[in-house]
Amino acid sequence: MIETGFLAFAAQLSLLLILIGMAVAFIRLAKGPSLADRVVALDMMTVTIISFCGVYAVFMDEPSFLDVAIVLALVGFLATVALARYAERRLEHDQTQQDIAEKEQDT
């Protein structure tokens, strides 16, 4: 009986802390200030959602939420890679535009 009560308390505390982490990540996603900050915040939100699914699966004794967590982890990884590639190309494009502007000023 004591172990069950402790597990329930630990799961509820974990869910609360995960939600606090999600709120902090959302604030960083909304404020920015740069694209890299937003990408990291989005990745943190994905990880917190995955951890929420894992803790909820243990708390409710429902293993199907672990399948959801695995799929979300795969999709989150692909989204992070895609956003990193976009940020890299954007940086290259901005650098090229800056080089062109400097050449025009020199002439």
Does pLDDT of 1 surpass 60?
no
Average pLDDT over residues 20-47: 92
Residues 28 and 60: their CA atoms lie apart, in Å, by 30
Chain segment 57-102, per-residue pLDDT in tens:
988 988 999 999 999 999 999 998 998 898 889 888 888 888 788 8
How many independent structural domains does the chain possess? 1
Residue 18 CB burial class (10 angstroms; 0-12, 13-18, ≥19): buried
Q: Are 44 and 70 in contact (CB under 8 A)?
A: no
Query: How many CB atoms sit inside 10 A of residue 29's CB?
Result: 16
Q: How far is CA 64 from the centre of its chain?
A: 22
Does pLDDT of 44 surpass 70?
yes
pLDDT of amino acid 53:
94
Helix axes 35-60, 64-106, angle to 10 degrees: 180
Q: At 69, which CATH number?
A: 1.10.287
Closest residue by Cα to residue 80 from 55, 31, 47: 47
Q: What is the mean pLDDT of the chain?
A: 89
Q: Which domain holds residue 80?
A: 2-106
